[in-house]
Structure 1
Amino acid sequence: MLLRTLLVSAVLFVAPAVPANAAPGCSGYVALTYDDGPYAQFTRPLLAALRSARARATFFDIGTRAKEHPDLVRATARAGMWLGNHTWSHPFLTRATPDELSKEIASTQDELRRITGRVPTLFRPPYGDTNAAVAAEARRQGLDQVLWTVDTRDWTSPPTEEIVRSATSATAGGIVLMHDGYQNTVDAVPLVVQGLRAKGLCPGRISGGRAVAP
């Protein structure tokens, strides 16, 4: 009777799904994303912190800032990070005319392609301000619109511990919103990566609106 019970239990037990291409120790992936850069003071330290933590992230750069700091954009690409389009001037896109909307996205595409030789495939609307017209224009320009599942609100200058607590609340497939330009965000990197890995989650890339294996 005991043997039959054990056999039935074994049949009924289903192990948690693990991505087929998951790295050892990774039961899922979370995308770390950084908006609004690059910044002369913060981008290189942020990249160094990510490299030290053996983590890759997605940087949604603003076109005007990329034009001002092309060396930092190239450094981001050389560090193995993914680059995304965050518009030319960071406006509220739902208030833009169709021509303004198109130019905000296209100008940034052109600038990032000119600097790196790569064509971004991801787009994040500033402030998460989007609608059907914004999403359609992004698609027309060959971009997937990306929002987030966890907002760390690091732009409000919370303590590093609060950023870490927010970021590590992410679940498999989640996308964490952070920003280039804040020292507390840089300081949070090793603790965020450590906290996620303690949950079996590893930094990943964005595909189909969710985090997947790099």
Structure 2
Amino acid sequence: MSLRHVIRLAVVATAVAIGGVAVAAPSSAATCNGYVGLTFDDGPTGSTSALLTVLRNNGVRATMFNIGQNAQNNRSAAQAQVAAGMWVGNHSWSHAHMTTMSQAQMQSDLSQTSTAIQSATGTRPVLFRPPYGETNSTLQSVASSLGMRQVIWDVDSQDWNGASVSTIVANAGRLQAGQVILMHDGLQTTRDAIPQIMANLTSRNLCPGMISSSTGRAVAPDGGSTPPPTTPPPGGGSCTATATTPNVWGDRYNTSVTVSGASTWAVVVAITAPQKVVTIWNGTATWDSSGNVMTMRSNGSGNTFGFTTMFNGNSSARPQIRSCTAG
């Protein structure tokens, strides 16, 4: 499903009388002006579940570069990555310095890793990240022979180097459309940085995307050839959320969201500060630490929910629907 379809904020130009004055809702739609690749290396780990929770709460789909022996030893965590809508890549069997290996050793290492990941998740990797970013022409050729494109990174979050949350967020703030950032599974500081990273991306109309196996660049989630799981994951499927703004007043507006494809769902919506949601209906809402990302869950009141947002000085922005997850 295209994220451009998920983020369909089709604003209905509806005139609302305010003291006898007709005010028309803006006809522009909020869309992603570009995509970035959020990547997490070295999983799956004992902290993968916590990472996936943060990612899903913030409407993030990311690429997980898994170590083969970790995928073999943590099969349920690897399965959970795909069930949460993440893409999985090959990060070698044991994170060795692969440029010191012979071609045959490289072939064995990467093949064994892809097989372990496919066995655990049902998905065979089409992306490869060399450990430490160390590569050469032989390693790239081996990866290509196994159907994988090598992906390094444009921005290093430095989370592996003891960077603080604020430093990780600042580093991620350098991301531009099409670029890829290096982060890691298993680090609390990285998990704590994700809401702020997403708030910054949203403010710049950038959205998390997949990494194209053709170009190695971040593209819309349907823009590459990463295959889906061979069997549907239990729960955590997809749905579509379509939002309209049928009522606009001088200081606030209403948003109505209709969900299709699921009877129970969680929809992640980003609000542009300083706008503030003051009323919700037909759903149960939770918020991230920034107060700008709302996850609305079904509460038995049907498949349409809504909320009222105060402009607070920003009358042009409209909410962005980041994701819709079934179950």
State the TM-score, normalizing by the size of structure 1. Answer: 0.88
- What SS does structure 2 have at the residue aligned with 1:130? coil
Determine the C-alpha separation between the residues in 2 that align with 1:108 and 1:168.
32
Q: What whole-Å deviation, never above 9, does each CA across 1:100-148 have from its counterpart, x for those lacking one?
A: 1111100011101111111111100001100110100000000011011
Alignment of 1:113 with 2:124, yes or no, is no
Preserved contact between residue 157 and residue 182 of structure 1 (Cα < 8 Å): no
Alignment of 1:210 with 2:200, yes or no, is no
Alignment of 1:38 with 2:44, yes or no, is yes
Determine the C-alpha separation between the residues in 2 that align with 1:196 and 1:117.
31
Instruction: Report what 2:61 is aligned to.
Output: 56
Unaligned runs of 5+ in 2: 8-29, 222-327
Structure with more strand by fraction: 2
Alignment of 1:95 with 2:100, yes or no, is yes
4+ residue runs of structure 1 moved beyond 4 angstroms?
A: none
Instruction: Report what 2:189 is aligned to.
Output: 184
Determine the C-alpha separation between the residues in 2 that align with 1:45 and 1:27.
29
Unaligned runs of 5+ in 1: 1-20
Determine the C-alpha separation between the residues in 2 that align with 1:75 and 1:157.
27
Q: Give, in angstroms, the shift of residue 25 of structure 1.
A: 2.9
Paired residues in the alignment total: 193
Q: Give, in angstroms, the shift of residue 70 of structure 1.
A: 0.5
Determine the C-alpha separation between the residues in 2 that align with 1:202 and 1:102.
35
Determine the C-alpha separation between the residues in 1 that align with 2:105 and 2:95.
12
Matches within 5 A, 1:1-214: 23=7, 24-40=30-46, 42-207=47-212, 208-214=215-221
Instruction: Report what 1:18 is aligned to.
Output: none
Q: Name the aligned partner's letter for residue 90 of structure 1.
A: H
Q: Give, in angstroms, the shift of residue 197 of structure 1.
A: 1.0
Structure with more helix by fraction: 1
**Higher Cα Rg: structure 1 or 2?**
2
Q: Which has the higher contact order (CA 8 A, sep 6+)?
A: 1
Determine the C-alpha separation between the residues in 1 that align with 2:72 and 2:120.
8
Q: Name the aligned partner's letter for residue 207 of structure 2.
A: C
Determine the C-alpha separation between the residues in 2 that align with 1:58 and 1:118.
13
Instruction: Report what 1:14 is aligned to.
Output: none
Determine the C-alpha separation between the residues in 1 that align with 2:100 and 2:198.
37
Q: Name the aligned partner's letter for residue 213 of structure 1.
A: A
Determine the C-alpha separation between the residues in 1 that align with 2:92 and 2:150.
12
State the TM-score, normalizing by the size of structure 2. Answer: 0.58
Q: What whole-Å deviation, never above 9, does each CA across 1:9-57 have from its counterpart, x for those lacking one?
A: xxxxxxxxxxxx58543100000000001111x2111100110101100
Q: Name the aligned partner's letter for residue 137 of structure 1.
A: V
Determine the C-alpha separation between the residues in 1 that align with 2:68 and 2:185.
14
Q: Name the aligned partner's letter for residue 38 of structure 1.
A: P
CA RMSD of superposed structures (Å): 1.1
Q: What whole-Å deviation, never above 9, does each CA across 1:40-98 have from its counterpart, x for those lacking one?
A: 1x211110011010110000000011111100000001000000000101111111111
Determine the C-alpha separation between the residues in 2 that align with 1:175 and 1:163.
14
